Chains A and B, each alone.
Chain A
Amino acid sequence: MISIESTSFAYDDGAPLLVGVTLAVQPGEYVVVAGASASGKTTLARLLAGQTGADAGAVFRGAVTLDGETIRFDGAPTDPRIDPAAWSARVGFVAQGAWGQLSMMSASVGEEIAFGPSNLGVPTDQLRSLVADVAAALTLTPLLNHDPRRLSGGQLQRTVIAAAMAQRPAVLVLDEPFQGLDDDSAQDVADALEVLRGAGTAIVVCEPMLPRAAPEGARVLALADGRPVFDGLLTDARGAGLRRYGIGTAGDPPRLDPASDPTGPHGRELVTLRGVGFSYPSGRRGDDRSACLAGVDLSLHAGEIVALRGSNGSGKSTLLQHLNGLCRADAGSVSLAGVPILRQPTGALAACVGFLFQDTDQQLFERTVLREVSYGPFAAGHRRDDAVRRASEALERVGLGALEEAHPYELGFVQRRLVALASIIATGPAVWALDEPTAGLDDPARTLLAALVTAHARGGGAVVLATHDEAFARAVAHRSVRLEGGRIMPEDHPSV
């Protein structure tokens, strides 16, 4: 059906990737491409989606075959170009980073899902039933009239997946589709993929770790540093010792240094929320100004790590944004170290609360990694050279010391995530508010994150992290708080 034989692939002047990688996927097959950061899995996904990067100066040597038609590339300027329109009629692609996938030409989730098929000329009545079916499968029906730009991270991710599924492609390539989904949504997506597969769609899923569950007979192609290190059944992959290539298994607890056991709350109260209520201004279509948060109480002490759990759209991100003033409570009060947040500008709170956005692409804006990370300390009043020194130290701590002069946009997903984290460390706030910090991380980065978070708490800081990663929450947090429909639920697992 679709196959790739890659001799090598190189971005501008980077190290060669996909050296000697071959992958052939038959109709109805399910293939997991697993690899740690910078292993080349996103590059492989893009190649399958017909993006050879030739327009961006990348050099690909190899061949791609779709439906028995082989296209060869020699890395020369005379190489053939793949027609995206024709390719997209057969190969669907969900890239990483849901924001960048929005067409910006749709006012509602329904239109967004219909965008692909309507471009391919599917008649209007079929279009309607197609959208209704896909939306029902991914429990998006109640959101069909919502503005796609005003969704929670998980709702947006589901919308983007639904849009690709609605194209009814013969091959569907998904780059980390489960990122940011709660357990139920992840199951919905897996079920919907199964239905497609049953109908003969070939499915390729890229993951930083081996999935905990996958359809029977799922194959794994594992990559490390741009080379294949394993090709076989998922059941065999688990025993193949892929951890040495930084490929762990999703759902495993992070490995914590036993000596770094978090001490727990031992100091003054750093964050206090009392009866916080909030609703988003209603969009153009939704005339319902339904409450997003209601009666939320939360307190966070120095030395404490709290996990914020709850399904997609339950209000976790909204709650976190109250801590640094990006959202202002309609009711109740928010205080930082006893000082209530009233009308202070958001920027003035950055010295107390460091915020990791759910979507990294929303967080980075500077030209080089060093400038990016020194922005915070400089804005907080440090002298320029002092800010740069702090930035360098923070980058060392997250293991990116060598990338100071790189452009943040050139980095891979995990590295960008670590740059965002470094920018918080460099500023040095007492409170860290981290929105889905483990989403999309590979095993080494997740372990590093666990160490950084516990170290911060031990040093007298406080951390609140919204997460769907239960194993991480259990291992790292002192307690967890569950949010459902904008309200705090009584906790039913006191062990966490």
Chain B
Amino acid sequence: MRRRRIYNPLTELLAAVLLVVLVLVVNRWEFSLAVLVLVVVPAVVSSGRPRQIGLAVAVVAGPLLLSSLLLHGLFYPEGSTVLADLGPARVTAEGLSFAALMGLRMSVFTGVLLTAAMTLEVPELLATMTHRGWNRKLVFVVGSAVGLIPHVALRARQITRAQQARGLVVGRGPLARLRALLTVTTPLVIGLLVDASERNHMLGARGFSSTVARTSYLPDTDTPGQRIARRVMLAVTAVFSTAWLILPVVTG
């Protein structure tokens, strides 16, 4: 069962994006770690689908982390405290800490964005944007992009089922599941590429690209309070980021 939704999806999406901005601006590992422990992990755990999100984060962030560790851990040019000399490669303390910083940031990014994307109520998001009278093109772009996520998930599930019905044995452990995920990748990508143009036609045939103001079947779940909250969040982040970036320059 999914968690009960408290905030409007637009508020959640904005919060996720602003969090990513903050992590970028406040370029400190302590901050990234705090966000990871205090925000990302609780969000994933309470999302109602921690396993799927965890797996998705692992699949996306894992290779990035590994390559960052190899690259910076072994070949960090400014590193002076050498921990191990491996000929052309040197393991330096500076390199390792830089790799840790980058890794933390990447984990936060993927964690925040994937959790938001995978728990987002696409219909409600579209309805909110429609009720707020957002630009039609923007609704189209955001709608087709986030509508793609459930489409991909469904497609992946169908392909695994088809493969299993034809003899693919999927074990129960996490490793076996990861392997199943990999066998689904190639057909999934091909299928999605084939679908893409079909989906475009379908959305076109249903008038999604039309330019008249869109209306919504769903009632507006957005509240004035949340609208204010979104503006405040945006303003606070903007002011804070500016201050954070400018103060050190001004004070020298």
Contacts and interface: CB of A to CB of B under 8 A. Distances in A.
Given A149-B154, A350-B166, A119 B214 contact: yes
Contacts of B201: 46, 51, 84, 95
Contacts, number: 164
A106 B1 CA distance: 18
Contact of B167 (A117, A131, A282, A379): A379
A269 to B, nearest CB: 22
B207 A89 contact: yes
A346 B165 contact: yes
A121 B217 contact: no
Contacts of A89: 207, 210
A380 interface: yes
A348 interface: yes
- Chain B CB within 10 A, most for which of A56, A346, A376: A346
Nearest to B126: A105
Given A104-B122, A115-B206, A124-B215, A427 B167 contact: yes
Nearest to A325: B164
Contacts of B195: 100
A261 interface: no
Contacts of B124: 107
A15 interface: no
A367 B167 contact: no
A14 interface: no
A11 B197 CA distance: 15
Interface bin, chain B:
35 or more
B175 interface: no
A379 B215 CA distance: 50
- Chain A CB within 10 A, most for which of B126, B205, B209: B205
Interface in B202-220: 202-218
Contacts of A87: 205
A350 B126 contact: no
B159 interface: yes
Interface string A99-125: 011011111101100111111111110
A284 B4 CA distance: 10
A380 B162 contact: no
A76 interface: no
Interface in B50-71: none
A84 B123 contact: no
A347 interface: yes
Contacts of A324: 165
B128 to A, nearest CB: 13
Contacts of A92: 205
Contacts of A119: 206-208, 210, 214
Contacts of B171: 345
A282 B1 CA distance: 8
A347 B122 contact: no
Contact of A347 (B150, B167, B211, B214): B167
Contact of B206 (A50, A103, A124): A103
B161 A104 contact: no
B198 interface: yes
A313 B191 CA distance: 28
Interface string B138-151: 00000100011011
A101 B158 CA distance: 16
Given A105-B143, A366-B187, 16 more contacts: A104-B147, A104-B154, A115-B206, A115-B208, A116-B206, A118-B130, A121-B213, A124-B217, A127-B215, A282-B1, A325-B164, A347-B163, A350-B165, A363-B162, A379-B169, A409-B194
23 contacts: A51-B205, A84-B201, A84-B204, A84-B209, A85-B207, A93-B205, A95-B205, A105-B123, A108-B123, A118-B216, A131-B217, A284-B1, A325-B164, A326-B161, A347-B168, A350-B167, A365-B162, A366-B187, A375-B167, A376-B167, A379-B166, A380-B167, A409-B194
Interface of A: 46, 49-51, 55-56, 84-89, 92-93, 95, 100-101, 103-108, 110-111, 114-124, 127-128, 131, 149, 163, 167, 282, 284, 324-326, 345-348, 350-351, 355, 357, 362-367, 375-376, 378-380, 409, 423, 427
- List the 3 shortest-distance A-B pairs measured between CB atoms, nearest first: A84-B204, A379-B167, A85-B210
